[in-house]
Structure 1
Amino acid sequence: MRWDRFFEDLEDQLDSEWEAERAALDTEAERLRLARLSLFERLHALVGAAEAAIVVDLVSGVAVTGSLVAVGPDWLAVEDGGARGALIVPLSAVAAVGTTHADLLRSARGSEPGRLRERMTLGFLLRDLARRRVPVTLHARDGREYSGTIDRAASDHLDVALHDRGSPRRADLVTGYRILPLSAVTEVRLESPTALA
């Protein structure tokens, strides 16, 4: 009887040590997974799944509250519920993203985006807006606004034809042109609510 008890104690001790070692390995694996998790993956996990509106604090000092509707590798799109269209924000212009604790934990699980979405950079998106002639208002880091239509989007800058909000891009309505470095842009407001559809 004593020997049975002795072996049971040894088995219990080995089981406890095995569980502790497995827990340590699981913890280390989780640390490694989190170390590889990108902001893009975290935000992608919240698209269409967030419990509440998110708050996007921009480097310009502006805060935008709304639903996260799309994410690319270097941009995000927020629908802020206004009469105007969605807002596209370069990730380089994001100071912080505010969310609920549940959404924070959900985003930490990450999400595997599709291959096409991984390649849809801000430049790609801006070139599509230029092709479709979508009216936009560009907000710069210094607080200036440029309303008009993107004529061209290159690798690190874009050309915008300036005209009044709500008016089409016609030669007689264009009041000027600007070349904006993409690094100066903090927000791209789509003046057409269906532009991302």
Structure 2
Amino acid sequence: MRWDRFFEDLEDQLDSEWEAERAALETESERLRLSRVTLRERLVALAAAGTARPAACELTDGGTLEGRVSRVGADWFALAADPPGDGLRRAASRALWIVPLDAVRALTLPAPDLLGSVRDAAPGDTLGQRMGLGFVLRDVARRRVGVTVRVAGAAALHGTIDRAAADHFDLALHDIDQPRRAGAVTGFRVIPFAAIAAVGLAAPIALP
């Protein structure tokens, strides 16, 4: 019986050592996985989860947008926004915001989404990985949808995107409540993609 107990103790010790080694390997594996997770992959997880809980996105223009992450492209994401409670009602009441990843200063997420976005981080589908900001803005220009453009260090601009090139777009300025007509246009701006904090769409559209 003493020998039986001796071997049982050895088995218990071996089990404990294996469990400790497995836990150590899993911890190291998780650390390695986390070291490779990108912000874009966490946004993909938020979009896939389809949560109704809003995220708060602080932008390079000093403002904040709140809403659900609904789509993620190669270098941007779409935020289905709830109007914030500030005085800029007309500028803030966009149905959808297109936000360049480089324009994000910080994200505030509910705890379940914070943890879930780490756990479920993924690159997403191939189309999303290839769809750049320029592609989306060219589609917006084609649809002639009114936009609000938030630019770092400047007041929000309202108008219609006339054309989008490789790294910039032309914006015809007009009142936010008017369609783009020659008589309504008050000027033009050439805006580099790198200067964009967010582009708000005046009407809901299905993104490409």
Q: TM-score band, normalised by the shorter chain? A: over 0.9
Q: Does residue 95 of structure 2 align to residue 85 of structure 1?
A: yes
Do the aligned residues in 1 keep the contact of 2:61 with 2:150 (CA within 8 Å)?
A: no
Task: Assess if the C-alpha contact under 8 Å between 1:68 and 1:76 holds in 2.
Answer: yes
Report whether the alignment pairs 1:67 with 2:77. Answer: no
Root-mean-square deviation (Å): 1.7
Percent identity (aligned): 53
Q: 1:51/1:23 Cα in 2 relative to 1: closer, same or farther (>3 Å)?
A: farther
Aligned pair count? 197
Question: In the alignment, what sits opposite 2:182?
Answer: 171
Structure 2 length-normalised TM: 0.88
The equivalent of 1:100 in structure 2 is: 110
Residue aligning to 2:21: 21
Deviations 1:29-82 (A, max 9, x none): 111111111111101111153352110011222111112221222112112234
Do structure 1's residue 43 and structure 2's residue 53 form an aligned pair?
no
Decide whether the 8 Å contact of 1:127 with 1:153 is kept in 2: yes
Q: Is the 8 A contact 1:134 1:195 kept in 2?
A: no
Normalising by structure 1, what TM-score?
A: 0.92
Change (3 A) 1:34 1:60: same
Structure 1 residues 174 and 5: alpha-carbon distance in aligned structure 2, compared to 1, 3 A threshold: same
Deviation at residue 120 of structure 1 after TM alignment: 1.2
Deviation at 1:170, TM superposition (A): 2.5
CA contact (8 A) 1:51 1:103 kept: no
Q: Which amino acid aligns with 1:61?
A: G
- Partner of 2:27, secondary structure, is helix
**SS at the partner of 1:80?**
strand
Q: Which moved more, 1:152-161 or 1:47-56?
A: 47-56
Partner of 1:126: 137
